[in-house]
Amino acid sequence: MRIVHTARELRGLASRPSRRSGDRASRAVVMTMGALHEGHLALVRAAREAADEVVVTIFVNPLQFEDDEDLERYPRTLEADCALLEPLGVDVVFAPSLDEVYPGGPPVVTVHAGAIGDVLEGAHRPGHFDGVLTVVTKLLNLTQPDLAFFGQKDAQQVIAVRALVRDLSIATRIVPVPTVRDADGLALSSRNVFLSPVERTRALVLHRALQAADGAARAGRDLETVLAAGRHTLSEVPQVEVDYLAALDPVTAEELTPGYVGEAVVAVAAQVGATRLIDNVVTRIGPVLPEAPAEA
């Protein structure tokens, strides 16, 4: 495994030969901000299975943080991260400095997330998705991957990145990977380390609320009933300050309106102590579809 810190070093690395006879070598990228956990490693394993060469980027992107305090307290654990990545067969770790990614300071030209960046997570964190899409664009240009793997836990981010590559004609396929959870159901996040034991117990209500909403959806309930089921569960732990529980269109991230039928992402965000957590579940709203008859 090579660890490189500059774009010049990255460009100097030759792609691995293809494992598939007659095919060109393929490259996958997994973009992270470090402080790796099993959720990140699941992305790396999926990338390793799909591509001949795997590049993991580790860069704490200041453009997607709301304040300097949150940016400064984000854990930086490069040595430990690399120790986790090497046994997984990662070919390259690209860990650039701030000056390498943004030479001369904050970029003059950035990517605007449009309407996707104005709702839900974007409304609570103004400019967040502009920062995400700007650094994703830069890292896609630097790493030139065929595939890029993103965790479904950040559902709105997946929607935004898919819109980015579609609308700007970027030749990379975005591959979402299901959310990885601890045994108690809490979605893995680098921010979980900031939870006290009591706060962690309270945080489990997010997953229970999504399970309640998903259960109502699977029973064929309408959108209002699905959301009511999730909100009722959230109300059982009043110490958790809920920002939103909403159903999103899986392509546009727009909030769904009553009467909607089809696939949906039910997303939740809440403040647990000083830590903000997000989670989601992909489900289907509307009448239960009959099973197709078995073929004779």
Residues marked active site are found at 40
Neighbouring CB atoms inside 10 A of 39's CB total 22
Contact 33, 74 (CB under 8 A): yes
- Cα–Cα distance for residue pair 210/226, rounded to 1 Å: 9
- Cα–Cα distance for residue pair 34/190, rounded to 1 Å: 8
- Cα–Cα distance for residue pair 90/29, rounded to 1 Å: 10
Which residue type sits at 287?
Answer: P
Contacts of 191 (CB under 8 A, 6+ apart): 275, 276, 277
End-to-end CA distance of the chain, in Å?
52
Closest to 216 measured CA to CA, from 283, 269, 261, 280: 283
- Cα–Cα distance for residue pair 272/186, rounded to 1 Å: 13
212: burial class by Cβ within 10 Å (0-12, 13-18, 19+)? buried
Helices (H), the chain: 7-11, 38-50, 68-73, 78-85, 98-101, 121-124, 128-143, 155-167, 197-218, 223-234
